[in-house]
């Protein structure tokens, strides 16, 4: 609960939180450029930078974040960009209200902030939502980074029942990595 309050409070400060760069990462840009548009889910979407990006490229975009202020800002961003997105204030470990299938799920810095005990529920929800053959792009800090962190083994074990790891790209700077997983 304290973690949720802290994240929510960060969106009320005069400056954006450090993770809210407003920049779409090149890993997502490459993916979008090489795949046909479909339905995309951004988990921990914050103020909607990447929801807007995929929507501008023809994807039907859905964003989820438990910080209500972040979703309010995401709604402003989508209106300003002239795109339509579905945005929800919700817990990423409780996504029963969403209907599958999604072709792409994206998580840039959400999973590594969850308590270890919440990861199985997160993974089960993702398995239910992403279609077979669909892609899950995950950016996560590694242990030693600013969050709890995930190792390659953690990622593989968390998603082993429904996804396989296709690629791992080490992050620059902080201990981190980009993971590309495919739904079995």
Closest alpha carbon to 135 in 96, 106, 100: 106
Task: Return the structure tokens found at 172.
Answer: 């620059």
- pLDDT-derived band of residue 145, with 50, 70 and 90 as boundaries? low
Q: Look up tokens 């339509």; give the residue.
A: 84
- Mean pLDDT in residue range 118-141: 97
Burial 42-54 (b: 16+ CB within 10 A, else e): bbbbbbbbbbbbb
Highest mean pLDDT among 18-32, 48-62, 106-120: 48-62
Edge-to-edge order in the sheet of strand 60-65:
85-89, 60-65, 39-43, 102-108, 130-141, 176-183, 163-170
pLDDT tens profile 92-110: 999 999 999 999 999 999 9
Work out the percent of the chain whose per-residue pLDDT is above 70.
95
- pLDDT-derived band of residue 146, with 50, 70 and 90 as boundaries? low
Contacts of 155 (CB under 8 A, 6+ apart): 138, 140, 165, 179, 181
How far apart are alpha carbons 168 and 145 in whole angstroms?
17
pLDDT tens profile 11-25: 777 888 778 889 999
* pLDDT value for 1: 64
Q: Look up tokens 């501008």; give the residue.
A: 56
Please say if the pLDDT value at position 7 is more than 90.
no
Domains delineated in the chain? 24-183 (3.40.50.150)
Mean model confidence pLDDT for the chain = 93
């Amino acid at each position: 609960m304290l973690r949720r309050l802290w994240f929510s409070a960060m969106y009320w400060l005069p400056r954006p939180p450090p993770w809210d760069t407003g920049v779409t990462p090149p890993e997502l840009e490459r993916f979008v450029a090489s795949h046909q548009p479909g339905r995309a889910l951004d988990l921990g979407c914050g103020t909607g930078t990447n929801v807007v990006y995929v929507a501008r490229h023809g994807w039907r975009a859905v964003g989820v974040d438990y910080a209500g202020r972040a979703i309010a800002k995401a709604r402003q961003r989508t209106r300003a960009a002239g795109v339509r997105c579905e945005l929800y204030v919700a817990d990423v470990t409780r996504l029963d209200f969403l209907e599958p299938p999604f072709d792409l799920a994206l998580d840039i810095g959400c999973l590594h902030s969850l308590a270890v005990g919440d990861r199985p529920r997160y993974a089960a929800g993702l398995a239910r939502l992403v279609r077979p053959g669909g892609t899950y792009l995950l950016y996560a800090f590694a242990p030693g980074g600013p969050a709890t962190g995930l190792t390659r083994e953690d990622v593989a074990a968390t998603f082993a029942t429904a996804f396989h790891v296709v690629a791992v790209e080490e992050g620059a700077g902080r201990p981190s990595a980009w993971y590309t997983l495919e739904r079995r």
